[in-house]
Structure 1
Amino acid sequence: MFTRRQTLGLIGAAAASTILPQVRTASAAQTTLRIGWQKFGVLALARRTGALEKRLEAKGVSVEWNEFTSGPPLLEAVGADALDFGVTGDVPPLFAQAAGGNLLYVGAYRGPAAFHGLLVHKDSPIQTIEDLKGKKLAYKRGSSAHNFALKVLAKAGLSLSDITEVDLPPPDAGAAFKNGAIDAWAIWDPFFAVAEADPQTRVVATSEGLLDNWGYFLGNGTFTAAHPEIIADVIDELAKVGAAAQADLDGTVKTLSEITGVPADITRVTLTRSQADLGKVSLFPDQALTYQQALADDFYKLGVVPKQLNVSDIVWRPKAS
């Protein structure tokens, strides 16, 4: 099983970036696009290639990158006007909207079908989802793994009251899983793929067939209103980066492996899962809105978010040029 140090290696110095006050606040004359990123996917590739810097240079816009370990603190920064743009899974925007954050859905992408996994130790007595009853299940509350965990439990007729919920970010969850402090772990790639490759780990379930694994790009509301052309350029460029990466998987495996520190063979697993396609980047589509509203309704009914949300209230619809 991987060590805490190895798990932290996936995110490098990311933990330092999750503290909101450390993110520089915007100046009155905004000429810098402040991006929050995580070590996976198209945004990580764009950072490595400098694609956004090249695209925006002609507009006199520079790019500042801030790294995060998960979506909740990233969107806290976007919603608090400390970042202008970021990427996250499906659940963090619900909590950000419920908290009144100043942010908008500006784009979307589709992740692999098995982007999430439910893990136990090889010799665990947990053989089926039903066996989770009474056990300690860890995931980062407010992350996409939160949604995955709820869907897994519901599939077996269980709810949060049937398990002991343990709220841990990936590095801490990885350490707790290794030392046996938790019974099961719901997690996303590349953490999922790293753990899955360990012979002492067993996969009980994946997200394939349970959820659609939408991911989202969100913009700060004030920045997006003031600079819609920049946001449109960013989404368009990310789609190009994704398409190019998908067309050269060997090169993409090598690059992402260097970015994340995850071995190339494991990185290839994350990029070749069913329905994986880095080029599936677009402005926020109606299909994503339907999915996200249903998720918001479910989380309200379950008491996970404190209020009924109308997702369309914070969807950016750019004017036709």
Structure 2
Amino acid sequence: MTTTFKFSRRTAIASLGALAAIGPGAVLAQGAATRPISVRLGYQKSSTLIAVLKVQGTLEKQLAPLNATLSWHEFTSGLPLLEALNLDNLDISADVADTVPVFAQAAGADLTFLAQEAPSPAAQAIVVREDSPIKTVADLKGKKIGFAKAAGVHYLLIAALDKAGLSFRDIEPAYLTPADGRAAFEKGAIDAWVVWDPFLSAAQRQSKVRVLADGAGIASYQRYYLARSKFAKARPDVLRVVYAELEKTGKWVKQNPKEAAALLSPVWGLDAATIEQANNRRSYAVRPVVAEGLGEQQRIADAFFSEKLLPRKINALDVALFKPGA
């Protein structure tokens, strides 16, 4: 059966008036929200809040009313994750260390900062074997040090060396994923290892290690969630849902440490006690990214450029910032 709708001139004018009052942006957003969409989300094994949401299936449920489905894509480190985001192979990135967006910016990536986790300086550290003759950061001169390139630990190492009167050129870098780094560390193939939680806690609990320095006073270690700018402009409704769930999940993890550790244990393949220790050192306080809070991003960028690790100097403020309450 076909139904024919007849509009009088008065009805048409009233309808146009209503649309004008709502505004064109709202009309477009409503239309976009009704179109089916598959949201591609990239994450790392250490992406705690995203891991919790994945296990619980929370994001899928919250995105369903927006006609949005979710696909999950795991990466071994943050730099290839953001490269995939920039190449339009992903729409949203789970948390990456504060250093990673700097490299993406230098490569000309058009990304939007979705959210930021408040500082967790103790959640990454430089470690040596317990019987190592290395006693201070200054003793790292000429030594081979393993760490993941462009990760937060990369900047921690640079900042720690600088504080000890050394430069990055005074050490021999070995760019290794956390898994490869631990294997090299335990075999004695590297003299020191710079790593973040939960890998740091696992090493502390399962191997004989000693912490030379963590980020206290030199590297605050803030983690960032990002999105492709094109996606952020097209589907702010999706980003609002993701932001809200991250914020809630961060509070839940801190308020329920044992439950969170038990939930993550089979996912990470680590015992709950190790995960609880790691989570105690992370803030998980999700908040909006504001221009005033990007000062350390500029210091990170300047440090990498000074060590000739970035191809060009960048302005850390030259980024798009998502406003969850807008």
AA aligned to 2:103 is F
Deviations 1:208-255 (A, max 9, x none): 222111000010111111111211221111101111222211101111
Return the index of the structure with the highest Cα Rg: 2
Match of 1:295 in 2: 300
* Residue in 2 that maps onto 1:228: 236
Distance apart, 1:192 and its partner CA: 0.8
**Corresponding position: 1:96 with 2:101:** no
1:269 and 1:222 mapped to 2: Cα distance? 38
Q: 1:107 aligns with which of 115, 120, 128?
A: 115
The 10-residue stretch of structure 1 (82-91 or 191-200) with the greater mean CA deviation from structure 2: 191-200
1:177 aligns with 2:182: no
Q: Distance in 2 between matches of 1:294 and 1:117?
A: 19
Question: 2:265 maps to what in 1?
Answer: 257
Range with greater deviation from structure 2 (64-73 or 307-316): 307-316
1:67 aligns with 2:74: yes
* Residue of structure 1 equivalent to 2:19: none
> C-alpha separation between the residues in 1 aligned to 2:72 and 2:322?
25
Counterpart check, 1:31 vs 2:34: no
Q: Cα offset for 1:286?
A: 3.4
Give the gaps of 5 or more residues in structure 1. Answer: 1-28
Contact 1:108/1:285, CA 8 A, preserved across alignment: no
Q: Which runs of 5+ in 2 are unaligned?
A: 1-34
Task: Supply the AA of the counterpart residue of 1:277.
Answer: S
Displacement of 1:30: 6.6
SS in 2 for 1:269: helix
Whole-angstrom distance in 2 between the partners of 1:320 and 1:124 = 51
1:273-302 C-alpha deviation (Å, 9 max, x unpaired): 3xx332x11221334322212222222223
Alignment of 1:54 with 2:61, yes or no, is: yes
Map of 1:1-321 to 2, 5 A cutoff? Answer: 31-40=37-46, 41-86=48-93, 87-273=95-281, 276-278=282-284, 280-318=285-323, 321=326
| 2-structure distance, mates of 1:194, 1:320 | 38
Give the Cα separation in 2 of the matches to 1:255 and 1:111: 24
d(CA) in 2 for partners of 1:168, 1:288: 30
Tell me the TM-score normalized by structure 1: 0.86
Asked whether the 8 Å contact 2:229–2:320 carries over to 1, the reply is no
**Offset of 1:155 from its aligned partner?**
1.6
In 2, are the aligned partners of 1:228 and 1:318 still within 8 Å (CA)? no
Aligned CA-pair RMSD: 1.7
AA partner of residue 105 (structure 2): Q
**Contact 1:116/1:186 (<8 A) preserved:** yes
Mapped to 1, the partners of 2:292 and 2:248 lie a distance apart of 21
Per-residue displacement from partner, 1:17-73 (whole Å, max 9, x unpaired)? xxxxxxxxxxxx770111111223211111111111111110000111111121011
Q: Deviations over 1:158-189 (max 9, x none)?
A: 11111111111111111111111110001111
Q: Kindly report structure 1 stretches of 4+ aligned residues shifted beyond 3 Å.
A: 317-321
Alpha-carbon offset, residue 319 of structure 1? 8.4
User: Who is 2:3 aligned against?
Assistant: none
- Report sequence identity in percent: 35
